[in-house]
Structure 1
Amino acid sequence: MPLKLEQLVLFQGNAKTIITPSSNEKLGYVKAKYGVHYTVNYKEKKKSAQVILPKIHFDPADSIFIPANRT
């Protein structure tokens, strides 16, 4: 099921979270509000995977959520 803008997603358990916002303002917001483990501004880092993978020791993601209605 695709996510829609402003929908709430619950992760239960010991998940590590990686968020890829499009601005440093959003990056700071999600770090402060949600305590995510890793963030990468995808507009500044065109190769986001090259930044993220070493941080997670090259383990593949178990799930990837991509919002359907980006604005």
Structure 2
Amino acid sequence: MGENKKLRKGDKVAWRSHGQTVHGTVDEKITDRTEAAGRSVAASEDDPQYRVTSDKTGRDAVHKPEALRRER
């Protein structure tokens, strides 16, 4: 998953949610414990997570890099 470690704001990505593939955009890399997308996120510099927005619903989600697949 080395490629996913290089995700940046604006990158198009896909992830699995409730048995479906969701497409969206990276909004930010989270590297501190914070609240995002309606939940507590335990991220760090060594274990970052990404806030993404669904193209279909416009809703935010937070995922670890290994859950995201960059789209071309």
TM-score, normalising length: structure 1:
0.24
More helix by share: 1
More strand by share: 2
Bigger Rg, which one: 1
User: Relative contact order (alpha carbons < 8 A, sep ≥ 6): 1 or 2 greater?
Assistant: 1
